[in-house]
A = this chain, B = another copy of it.
């Protein structure tokens, strides 16, 4: 039985939905937006700030970020947020039985042996279909929206973990939700969490 499931996912892959369903089926706590609120409470940073920057610390303003907004010790607001977030994830894992989505949780909890680390991805066509269905059309093409958001996730992950985002070796299981479908992904994750 694995007590903690971390689910990392490409934007548009349905990974968050899969994570939520897996948590329900396992009777595990689910941390995503709730986690953001918890971070906000404990860090004193505004919720709006965290929602905008929580997974996008270096983001498109990478160079600006590196040189402005640092405190006397040289830490940026993003670095501070990272540390708060890391501590909270470690605490949640200590409490056990939970599914944590995103936020480099796979890396933060890499030394624990009671985790199942999962990555969910899908091909471009499936991701395009999904975001247009869920969020509608915007000024930017679906492909551009996907590329930008996933590039930002990759940059953030690299910045804080020094790992390449999406390498199979960082996870115990990686699944193509486009080919497998969401239900089968949930079944596999729940089955492995119980068996291992």
A binding-site residues for B, Cβ under 8 Å = 10, 119, 121, 164, 166-169, 171-176, 179-180, 184, 188, 192, 195-196
Contacts and interface: CB of A to CB of B under 8 A. Distances in A.
Contact of A173 (B164, B175, B195): B175
Q: Which DSSP category, helix, strand, loop or mixed, fits chain A's interface?
A: mixed
Contacts of A173: 173-176, 180
Nearest to A150: B169
Stoichiometry, copies per complex: 2
Contacts of A175: 172-173
Nearest to A172: B176
Contact of A174 (B171, B184, B195): B171
Given A167-B168, A174-B174, A184-B195, 16 more contacts: A119-B168, A119-B174, A121-B169, A164-B164, A164-B167, A166-B167, A168-B174, A172-B179, A172-B180, A173-B173, A173-B174, A173-B175, A173-B180, A179-B196, A180-B192, A180-B196
A180 B176 CA distance: 18
A177 to B, nearest CB: 10
13 contacts: A10-B169, A119-B168, A121-B169, A164-B167, A166-B167, A168-B174, A172-B175, A172-B180, A173-B175, A173-B180, A174-B174, A180-B192, A180-B196
A18 B118 CA distance: 21
